[in-house]
Amino acid sequence: MTLRRSLLALAVATIAGLGTLTVPAIAAPTAVRSEPVHSYTDAVRETVWVDTGLTAPDGDRVRVAADIVRPRTAAKVPVIMDASPYYLSRGRGNESQKKTYDNAGRPIRFPLFYDNYFVPRGYAVVLVDLSGTARSNGCVDVGGRAEVASVKAVVDWLNGRATGHTSATGPATAAATWSTGAVGMIGKSWDGTIANGVAATGVEGLKTIVPIGAISSWYDYYRSSGAAFTNGGPASLAAAVENEQGAADCGAVKAALTKGSPSSGDLTPMYRERDYVQAAGKVRASVFVVHGVNDLNVKSINFGQWWAALPPTVERKIWLTQAGHVDPFDFRRPVWVDTLHRWFDHYLLGFDNGIEDEPLSTVEEAPDRWRDDSSWPAGTPLTLRPRPGRSAEVGALGADAPPAGTVAALTDNGSTAYDWITNPAGASSARVVYRTEPLTSDIRVSGTSTITVTATSSAPAARVSAVLVDYGPATIRDYRSTGEGIRTLATRSCWGESTAGDSACYLDTATATTTVTENVIARGWADLGHYAGLDHRRVLAPDTAYTITFTLATTDQVIRAGHRLGLVIGGADTRHITSTGGSPRLTVDLARTALHVPIANTD
């Protein structure tokens, strides 16, 4: 069957995506909802230092600071927790808010809107300083055992299983007698990453997590199938957020991070320890994933592999935006606050509001245009093969493989994917490009693509990049701009109650768009020397073909009728990954190269 007929058939058929989770038929939610009946001004504000059971390099027990704001009530309340390394360094949210304290050290400002909105509605909000940051002692180990164990200890303390103290070093204890023990963790980026890690311990009392733009495997934050990203290393990230004590005492921890992250791109024991996907089977909490499919900081493979690894018994929901590394409070604010409110009401207060029966996935198809579905991902893998066209470097993408021995060559010259995708009909020594015929109907790429590349390198080391491109005019979120798809306005809107030291009013945002003639919808990178596995990079022999299979970014994008789907293969995409040096020449065996892309209909 030709590609055109295959895609057309897919566009009109009902596609049941492999491995998807289907929810029951949508039921109308009830009106049950928590209301703002408690005074935010009179709320209890305190700090408890929780003993993590760990020992710091100076021999002291590690205690993490948990800043708490809770209703002044005799009733027990559930907890919304955001554990972060950023509260006194980079800050949180679009306005980079930091915690503030009075002269006695009592917390005054709690960043983000969670406290202002949810405390009056009967929730406590607990903001935890990760070990080695802000007012916690210990060391920053970048998603390792210390960070996960320290936050897990706070969940245990809220359930009466760990010891809390009224000061950083003193013996006086504090019990969470006010807590129901029900905890929901939320956070963007590193914060959401720790939520994933704590959930993967299966800790009792953690009822739900809401990871936003979160990492599921730190290897996949710093590496891609052996290729090193240009985002530095874990030791430099630790140094950026650690407090003065950590800077003085935690040199050995940072040295271990550096040793465990070699430039070879090998998957080391250090990275295996920080792979929460492998422990996803322990997750008992419900999971509400939010991610930008154009997130070039925390690449979207992180949510794709996490979602796929969750046990089928885990109740879940997913929001995907066309923006980059952006919080939903800044790309869909009113709907987000309402949805999050009902999510926490259900999983932390036990309200029967029907949210668990609402559409499982919400995907932004185009700027500010959203679709709901009962399952995700929607795509079924379709195998596409590159074939030569007018020249070896510019060809067709279809269902049929080219004859054995068909090859194409490229030279890694240090350029980027943005250079490669322009002028697709022209020859270029830096890349090869293959495109379908213009599509006769809309198709949807929904899920995680993989590619198998067979290539010979002129050098003992080489990188391979693969880029999936939508060729055709479109207006998209401007995810490559400073705001990554949003603009910050001068006006403010308020979400909850304010005090003199903690405002509930935040700068409004609007969608930032741009017009394009081609758009990258998924990209992946690999080091060819890892063809036999990620544990060890091998030296490439000349005139020897090596086959490697690697993933492209998880995505959900609609390609319109009349557009072409393109595959571009190049060397080191230096916008994202480091080069091996020199200018390796790659000869790609097209007969042994195949793209597997998840295609769905758009009905």
Would you please indicate which residues are annotated as catalytic (active-site) residues?
A: 189, 295, 325
Which letter does DSSP use for residue 25 in this model? P
Half-sphere exposure of 467 (CA within 13 A, CB side): 26
- Rounded distance between C-alpha atoms, residue 416 and residue 431, angstroms: 10
Amino acid present at 575: R
Alpha helices in 74-124 (DSSP H): 114-118
**First CA to last CA distance, the chain:** 23
Supply 480's token pair: 């490559």
- Among residues 308, 328, 291, 326, the alpha carbon closest in space to that of 375 is found at 308
What is residue 304's three-state secondary structure? helix
Instruction: Name the amino acid, one letter, at 232.
Output: G
CA angle, 561 as apex, 432 and 444 as ends, to 5°?
Answer: 75
Neighbours of 327 (CB within 10 A): 25
- Which CA distances in Å does 573 have to 225, 420, 462, 534, 595? 14, 9, 12, 20, 18
Bridge partners (DSSP) listed for residue 364 = 370
- Residue whose entry in the numeric block shows the structure tokens 């040096």: 581
On whether the CB atoms of residues 198 and 206 are closer than 8 A, the answer is yes
Strand 380-391 to strand 505-511: parallel, antiparallel, or no bridges (unpaired)? unpaired
Strands of 458-494, DSSP E: 463-477, 486-494
Q: What angle do CA 60, 184, 110 make, to 5 degrees?
A: 65
Q: What share of the chain is helix, strand, coil (3-state, %, to 5)?
A: 20, 35, 45
The two beta strands, 513-527 and 463-477, are: antiparallel
Strand pairing of 407-411 and 431-435? Answer: unpaired
Query: With contact defined as beta carbons under 8 Å apart, do 595 and 10 qualify?
Result: no
CB atoms within 10 A of CB 31: 5
| Dihedrals phi, psi of 126, to nearest 5 degrees | -120, 120
The CA distance from 354 to 193, in Å, is 27
Which spans in 88-127 are helix H? 114-118
Q: Give the phi and the psi of residue 443 in degrees, each rounded to 5.
A: -130, 165
CB-based contact 296:481 (threshold 8 Å): no
